[in-house]
């Protein structure tokens, strides 16, 4: 089996972690509230902590097996872990830190070149410097580069981009997406921000109180009642991948054409707050379920600039509210009251209009 499979149990004091799951090649989001056990799970997988019982395997190779009394040390697991606070060798320059990773990488395996990682993470100007002179964001980029140049068989990322500004974060996420697509590497990405993660992957593990609450594709999980509470508080959004097609500076808006995966479907155009991105730029925009209104028809004479027709696919009741999945050429999630469902007679198959203001859209 390819990928990372684990069934681990670990207890310290009042906290107990008990998780069984698997992560196939690709990017997996590890989401949950503070104290849920996300970082602990990564430490167990990397070999920096030892489960009380269980089993961990990577591409069929046993890393830990309590019954067989097998526990490979961290340096033999071919698993790279990037912490939120970069842990670089302080006595080495940035270049020496990167070279060290390359020297200790597995022979014959390369997932990224030195030049590519230096260029994409914009660290060429840092190579001669020592870690103590780096800012938080510079140290995070260096730590990520070092882990990639170790050419691991699994990459574990514990909020690795938290200190980066939006532009550098976007570049780092693009690099991770490219590496995941070409390397067959399982990448586990801990974050508190659903919108950030959705730029590089769609598979998720949701952890609460040391337990696996949900596991699977984002579009499936966000319409499961058992996952909704966690996903709501972590920033449940509909994600629009768009391309800039027009700037209307006098109106303060940029018009974006949604990039759809299905051929033959006319892409909708969305009006969002004005940005300076060149035409043709692709960006992800996020839209919260509570920022969308529903109408039985197109509405004239109002200030709402975005009105999209769609078809209702599913209704999921949740604590007095109802989450509505609407197909507008891509899935949109709308949160309304149960009274709205009854008064409008909404049901799967109904045609409906989604209305939302341009300033409800958030650039990622």
Please name the residue ranges forming H helices in the chain: 38-46, 94-103, 114-120, 136-149, 166-183, 194-197, 218-221, 225-233, 338-344
pLDDT at 263 over 60: no
Q: Count Cα atoms within 13 angstroms, Cβ side, for 23.
A: 30
- Whole-angstrom distance between the N-terminal and C-terminal Cα of the chain? 35
Domains and CATH numbers, the chain: 4-233 (3.40.50.300), 238-363 (2.40.50.100)
| Segment 286-293 mean pLDDT | 95
Looking at residue 151, its pLDDT comes to 93
Q: In what order do the strands lie in the sheet with 154-158?
A: 70-71, 61-65, 53-58, 4-12, 15-23, 211-217, 203-208, 26-31, 186-190, 154-158, 79-82
3-state percent helix, strand, coil for the chain, nearest multiple of 5: 25, 35, 40
Burial of 330 (0-12, 13-18, 19+ CB in 10 A): buried
Looking at residue 108, its pLDDT comes to 59
Looking at residue 264, its pLDDT comes to 53
Looking at residue 236, its pLDDT comes to 86
Which 8-state DSSP code applies to residue 61?
Answer: E
Q: Quick one: tokens of 92?
A: 């080495």
pLDDT at 306 over 90: yes
- Which residue in this structure is represented by tokens 């919108």? 195
Cβ contacts of 293 within 8 Å, gap of 6 or more = 304, 354, 355, 356
| Segment 46-59 mean pLDDT | 97
Looking at residue 195, its pLDDT comes to 82
Looking at per-residue pLDDT, the higher value among 1 and 192 belongs to 192
CB of 354 closer than 8 Å to CB of 313 = no
Distance CA 83, CA 64 (A): 22
pLDDT at 262 over 60: no
Distance CA 261, CA 271 (A): 20
Q: Which residue pairs, CB below 8 angstroms and at least 24 apart, start in 90-93?
A: 90/130, 90/131, 90/132, 91/130, 92/130, 92/131, 93/127, 93/128, 93/129, 93/130
Whole-number average pLDDT of the chain: 92
Of 103-107, 139-143, 157-161, which gets the smallest average pLDDT? 103-107
Q: How confident is the model at residue 246 (pLDDT cuts 50, 70, 90)?
A: very high
Looking at residue 104, its pLDDT comes to 72
Q: Quick one: tokens of 317?
A: 């009741």
CA 308 to chain centre: 26
């Amino acid at each position: 089996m390819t990928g990372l499979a684990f069934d681990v149990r670990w207890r310290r004091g009042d906290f107990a972690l008990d998780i069984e799951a698997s992560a196939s090649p690709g990017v997996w989001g590890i989401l949950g509230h503070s104290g849920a056990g996300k970082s602990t799970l990564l430490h167990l997988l990397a070999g920096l902590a030892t489960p009380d019982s269980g089993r961990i395997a990577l591409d069929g190779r046993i890393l830990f097996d309590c019954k067989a009394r097998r526990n490979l040390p961290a340096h033999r697991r071919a698993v790279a872990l990037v912490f939120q606070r970069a842990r670089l060798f302080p006595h080495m320059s940035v270049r020496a830190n990167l070279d060290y990773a390359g020297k200790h990488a597995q022979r014959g395996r390369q997932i990224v070149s030195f030049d590519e990682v230096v260029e994409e993470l914009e660290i060429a100007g840092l190579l001669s410097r020592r870690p103590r002179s780096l800012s938080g964001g510079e140290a995070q980029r260096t730590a990520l580069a070092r882990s990639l140049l170790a050419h691991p068989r699994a990459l574990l990322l514990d909020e690795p981009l938290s200190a980066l500004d939006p532009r550098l974060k976007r570049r780092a996420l693009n690099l991770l997406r490219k590496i995941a697509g070409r390397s067959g590497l399982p990448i586990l990405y801990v974050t508190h921000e659903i919108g950030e993660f959705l730029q590089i992957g769609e598979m998720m593990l949701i952890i609460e109180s040391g337990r696996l609450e949900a596991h699977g594709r984002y579009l499936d999980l966000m319409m499961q009642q058992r996952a909704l509470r966690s996903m709501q508080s972590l920033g449940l959004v509909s994600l629009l991948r768009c391309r800039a097609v027009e700037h209307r500076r006098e109106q303060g808006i940029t018009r974006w054409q949604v990039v759809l995966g299905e051929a033959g479907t006319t892409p909708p155009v969305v009006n969002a707050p004005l940005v300076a991105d060149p035409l043709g730029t692709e960006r992800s925009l996020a839209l919260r379920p509570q920022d969308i209104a529903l109408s039985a028809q197109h509405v004239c004479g109002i200030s709402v600039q975005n009105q999209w027709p769609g078809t209702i696919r599913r209704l999921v009741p949740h604590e007095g509210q109802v989450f509505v999945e609407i197909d507008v050429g891509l899935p949109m999630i709308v949160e309304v009251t149960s009274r709205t469902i009854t008064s409008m007679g909404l049901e799967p198959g109904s045609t409906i209009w989604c209305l939302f203001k341009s300033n409800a859209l958030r650039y990622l």
